[in-house]
A and B are shown apart, each in its own frame.
Chain A
């Protein structure tokens, strides 16, 4: 009968209620992007009618469209448009460093990352692509059911302060979307990108930062702790550190850019104080450009 155990029901309901809003908000966000089927504009395997062509030698009798052929003397074969589904793998950093918001009016970085990942998944699934998570936990699949599985998998939090993507189950020549603050050691990321480039996978690095991380508005004697509590740094005058911190941040961005240039990936930066919709548009254009090619 303690206060903790009694509202278990209420807390469980609250937890369960988080999923539909994430889905709904992701769907809502995705609804702002108009999309069309990206057909190949050539005959192939697909659902949409492409053309009738006269029977050529070598065509099997089974391929003849008898209904069309009956209307004329020539026999026709019915061709469908060639549609390919891409495999897209998404990684939204579950690390503790993402669960940070400098102001209570701002969303946490992790929240924004999940929202963008889900919205992209909604758009891509609607476009007929196969979407999954990096690593072996959730391989790319099609359909609405995948959306619920994705949402569930994206809600997992990690205890570690900084994590890097596991590029285990990469589908060759697929696409990837990595969303993180990239504050941890870049070695893991470098390895992942190299592995991806080896398998012909291209994609987007999307860095999400809190405004406080960009301006470093701290003063006075301060002990800085990482969100997970593993790293600490004490300073007597925080304001003295600002210039050097910003320099290091800029260096890191340059480093990420260099990595992308080497592997043919694209790099985007987003702040949690900005509009999620513009971020989604940018992501979709960046992803679309690759898929349409």
Chain B
């Protein structure tokens, strides 16, 4: 029924409004009820008569208030809806598929998109249509379910920090299955390869409607260094007039706090899809940058992480002799200046003056002796990660440095005098370089034929010499040697830094060698040869909204994949750390273009602002509750019971809290006390009441057995709502898995992870050991994998024979529940665990395994009703009883394991202790 803009879902309920006058009459007849009050002095009151015996009548305005409240309740229950869908539009029937791109670009307007999905689900729920949801960035099997069960999962639906690849599109098309359904597609507005094919596949199954935000998506390309300036460029999908954006450069301030260090305004011209600008920052500030971000965008694509590429190294150049003024080309530093000038900032000055600036590299060209203080300071600096680059020369050759024993700041011992080859007074030809040895940083560089060495200082043959040589001549004499000191290193070129002793500084090889030594490597991105065979560990990763998160225990990425492969679930954008440097993998590459998607004419495209249906029932009911609260106050005032101010204030607060129905209720103290006064077993509320009841009665049964047999006497089990309840009170959480349970929200996962790190244990039970092997084969298994993916779970293994779980109370060899046979998985033993001679078991896990995963449906085996009868049959006859007994024993062992930790494991030490006691 529709009245003006308001429709009613159950209009027949409005007929009860007729009953209101009757209510009026009844209310009028009943006086207010008296207060009952305890009072010891009542003995003195006996026999006292009231002076005036006026009976109280309810005043008319109070009656009116109550009548309006009841009318509001009736109207609210009749389900009024503002802006109901027109008849024809809302009548679509059959299944509904909601497709969202779920890419980084979807993160913009994500709230609006969720609102649209919510509206679609609400409509589908009213029409009783089954719904499936598909995220193209991570396509999964279609599950057509009731709309309500999807709404509870919306909190867990987040955009992925990558773009949709053609492979994902193909997979999504493959997963569509046969049946026909209507499709609503929430597009992010970007063109992806394969979108048309998917569209065709969807159209084959029913009508398709696209929802798309008209605002173009913005993206920020990685920053580049050009002429000492940081060049930033942004791209947008469509050119829709001029637009100003602000790019913020984030970095750590000297106190280590992340803040905006600089901002750069960029302007898109009216017809341009690109805008760029340059940011000039002092090197000290530039070195601190961690990311750039388009302000206000909040997508992974609008964030560009920086890596070592932006950092210009600071190089301090110190020469041993500065007396040859005017002879530029003979200056020991000339070639170094030339090599470093494009890519590094150079510091000049005395050694002790430049050290406090903490340069990345200090070059000592033909500096032989250092004073004690200088040497100590340099050693400190190298230990802290500095790189000392030394060049030989006449002074080094003539000095006694590193002759008898190796100087701390020299990689090798040197022979007196050095040698000269191929000169006028010597035999033989100048020497050339040998191919760089395996493991040398220079490995793979091409050696030009014209590089010759005519003089050098010679290294003393020492046991450590071979491993320190990173470049040598064709006759095997070392040319470059390196020694690591603490976090830093000392590298010695056995020739001069000018062209006096060799032609090396004249060649391009010299610059390449310096780059490889990471002296001047800044601007070049790592190339394929450098990446090959290395593993890169993620340090921080981006989520879909462009927030940086700690990478946690994510696996490393092979170097070949790092830059070549498209981003996806296995390769998140973020900062990766390799052997020598850090590399940022951004969502947007340097030359990526954003192209808008072009939908064919036949597809209707809607915006994200739907004039959503607005159910008014809740507001009417809230108004009724408010009126009734006012009624309470008025009734109290009339009967003289509104006298202490406390009551009034309390009621006022109650009204205020009623006004904000979505406010999270404060954690109930009594619940916390009940949970902590005694040991309490807890199970997770899955939303499936049969499952929750089984879990509850299972824990009751286990608690009874624990009380009978052990000193653990658990109280009544508690059902835990992951979204609202504090988890820290419970030593163990039993989590049965069902395919339709909601995904917890991000905050719930944060608390679950905190719970696991704090020593809690979660027992996951997929309850399907009768039908499935382990793995994703069963729906429950697949659901478990999805539920547990965000949890911080260590590597697992099936319970080994000598796991402490097999002997915390009973000696067990397997862990049956209602079903038997599936392996039970626990945290795997450390790889270095060894069996000690004479001990029955290894000294394993120093602590409690955070998860136990299995599918034996233990709760069903434990479950009893309130008379103590078993609720579910287990096996048959005596063997069944035996199996139930073993299930209880597993439960007892598990609780003991949680409560006593590795106490039983410590028994390995008993023989040793007894021996020490002399018994």
| A contact residues vs B (CB 8 Å cutoff) | 1-3, 6-7, 9-10, 97-98, 100, 109, 161-162, 181, 183-185, 210, 212-213, 216-227, 231-241, 244-245, 248-249, 252
Contacts and interface: CB of A to CB of B under 8 A. Distances in A.
A221 B54 CA distance: 11
A222 B44 contact: no
B577 interface: no
Contacts of A241: 45, 48, 50
Contacts of B716: 1-3, 6
20 contacts: A1-B704, A6-B714, A7-B677, A10-B677, A98-B40, A213-B39, A219-B641, A221-B32, A221-B639, A221-B640, A222-B35, A224-B41, A227-B38, A231-B42, A233-B45, A236-B54, A237-B640, A238-B640, A241-B48, A245-B41
B677 A249 contact: no
Q: Which of A9, A224, A225, A241 has the most CB of B within 10 A?
A: A224
Contacts of A98: 40
Contact of B640 (A2, A97, A239): A239
B46 A231 contact: yes
Nearest to A239: B640
Q: Which of B35, B707, B713 has the most CB of A within 10 A?
A: B35
A189 to B, nearest CB: 13
Contacts of A2: 716
A225 B37 contact: yes
B602 interface: no
B619 to A, nearest CB: 34
Q: Which of B37, B44, B641, B713 has the most CB of A within 10 A?
A: B44
A183 B41 contact: yes
Nearest to A96: B40
Contacts of A162: 43
Q: Which of B39, B40, B48, B678 has the most CB of A within 10 A?
A: B40
Interface string B11-41: 0000000000000000000001011111111
Contacts of B43: 97, 161-162, 183-185, 226, 231
A224 B704 contact: no
A10 B679 CA distance: 12
Given A221-B34, A221-B56, A237-B50, A6 B715 contact: yes
Contacts of A185: 43
Contacts of A181: 40
Contact of A100 (B36, B38, B704): B38
B640 A219 contact: yes
A250 to B, nearest CB: 10
Given A3-B715, A235-B48, 12 more contacts: A1-B707, A6-B715, A7-B678, A220-B640, A221-B640, A223-B35, A224-B37, A225-B42, A227-B38, A234-B34, A245-B45, A249-B44
Contacts of A226: 38-40, 42-43
Contacts of A6: 678, 713-716
Contacts of B643: 217, 219
B51 interface: yes
A213 B639 CA distance: 22
A161 B351 CA distance: 97
Contacts of A231: 42-43, 46
B40 A245 contact: no
A131 to B, nearest CB: 28
Contacts of B704: 1
Do most interface residues of chain B lie in helix, strand or loop, or is the interface mixed? loop
B703 interface: yes
B179 to A, nearest CB: 49
A249 B41 CA distance: 9
B300 to A, nearest CB: 50
B231 to A, nearest CB: 69
Nearest to B706: A1
A70 B51 CA distance: 90
B678 A10 contact: yes
Contacts, number: 125
Contacts of B50: 235-237, 240-241
A102 to B, nearest CB: 9
The 6 closest A-B pairs by CB, nearest first: A220-B640, A97-B40, A219-B640, A221-B34, A248-B44, A224-B42
Contact of B36 (A3, A9, A225): A225
Contact of B40 (A9, A210, A232, A248): A210
B141 to A, nearest CB: 42
Nearest to B50: A236
Nearest to B700: A1
B53 interface: yes
Contacts of B641: 219-220
Given A7-B678, A241-B48, A221 B42 contact: no
B670 to A, nearest CB: 12
A269 B386 CA distance: 86
A245 B44 CA distance: 7
A240 B715 contact: no
Nearest to A2: B716
B46 to A, nearest CB: 6
A240 B42 CA distance: 15
Contacts of B700: 1
A96 to B, nearest CB: 8
Contacts of B51: 237, 240
Interface in B817-844: none
Interface string B47-89: 0101111111000000000000000000000000000000000
A70 B36 CA distance: 83
Nearest to B707: A1
B32 to A, nearest CB: 7
Contacts of B46: 231, 233
Contacts of B45: 224, 233, 235, 241, 245
B888 to A, nearest CB: 14
Contact of B35 (A10, A161, A216, A221): A221
A35 to B, nearest CB: 34
A213 to B, nearest CB: 5
A10 B34 CA distance: 38
B42 A220 contact: no
B715 A183 contact: no
Nearest to B640: A220
Contacts of A239: 640
A100 B713 contact: no
Contacts of A220: 34-35, 639-641
A252 B45 CA distance: 13
Contacts of B53: 236
A223 B48 contact: no
A52 B54 CA distance: 85
A189 B919 CA distance: 74
B138 to A, nearest CB: 44
Contacts of B640: 219-221, 237-239
Interface in B389-412: none
A226 B45 CA distance: 11
A225 B48 contact: no
A37 to B, nearest CB: 40
A139 B703 CA distance: 49
B543 to A, nearest CB: 43
Nearest to A244: B48
Contacts of B713: 6, 9
A95 to B, nearest CB: 9
Q: Which of A109, A185, A236 has the most CB of B within 10 A?
A: A236
B37 A227 contact: no
A184 B40 CA distance: 9
B596 to A, nearest CB: 63
Nearest to B717: A1
A235 B39 CA distance: 13
Contacts of B639: 220-221
A118 B328 CA distance: 105
B48 A233 contact: yes
Contacts of B41: 183, 213, 216, 224, 245, 249
B39 A225 contact: yes
Q: Which of B45, B56, B640, B643 has the most CB of A within 10 A?
A: B45
Contacts of B32: 221
